[in-house]
Amino acid sequence: MRSPLEKVRTICLALPEAHEVETWGEPTFRVRNKLFAMYAAPNNHHGGGRPALWIKSTHVNQDLLIQSDSDRFFSPPYVGPSGWIAMYVDKKPDWKVLSEIVHDGYCLTAPKKLAATLRER
């Protein structure tokens, strides 16, 4: 069985020019050196005992997701006040939903022309 981090990597690194950089002791995912997602392992103070992915988002989407399922979504420390959303990736996560949220976070981060290539696919 694949680990949640392996699945997260597959989703994030499938995006154009996305790459992984270890920062703060955790994998982070970037496009042209701008951060769009970061993994929080369960065994550190960021993960709170459960693996999660923190994703760039808007305040509106953050609020909607947390209100829709506060057992799965939360406002992550440090970046939550900027609108980022976090999703736990254990206990049978909906990988399709995670992929859509990552896609949105990537589009918020990537240069407009690069993000537009995703819409053309």
Could you report the per-residue pLDDT of 29-41, keeping only the tens digit for each? Answer: 999 999 999 999 9
Rounded CA gap, 95 and 45, in Å? 24
pLDDT of 9 higher than 80 = yes
pLDDT, averaged across the chain: 92
Assess if residue 12 is contained within a domain.
yes
Q: Which of the pair, 76 or 46, is modelled with greater confidence?
A: 76
pTM of the model: 0.93
Please report the pLDDT score of residue 24 as a whole number.
Answer: 82
Assess if residue 120 is contained within a domain.
no
Assess if residue 119 is contained within a domain.
no
Question: The CATH number of the domain where 55 resides is what?
Answer: 3.90.1150.30
Assess if residue 41 is contained within a domain.
yes
What does 25-89 look like in DSSP terms, one character per residue? TEEEEEETTEEEEEEE-TTSTTTTTS-EEEE---HHHHHHHHHH-TTTEEPPTTTGGGT-EEEE-
Assess if residue 118 is contained within a domain.
no
Please report the pLDDT score of residue 49 as a whole number.
Answer: 83
Could you report the per-residue pLDDT of 11-63, keeping only the tens digit for each? Answer: 999 999 999 999 888 999 999 999 999 999 988 766 568 999 999 999 999 99
Number of independent structural domains in the chain: 1
Assess if residue 81 is contained within a domain.
yes
pLDDT of 1 higher than 60 = no
Which structural domain, as residue segments, surrounds residue 13?
A: 4-113
Assess if residue 42 is contained within a domain.
yes
Assess if residue 106 is contained within a domain.
yes
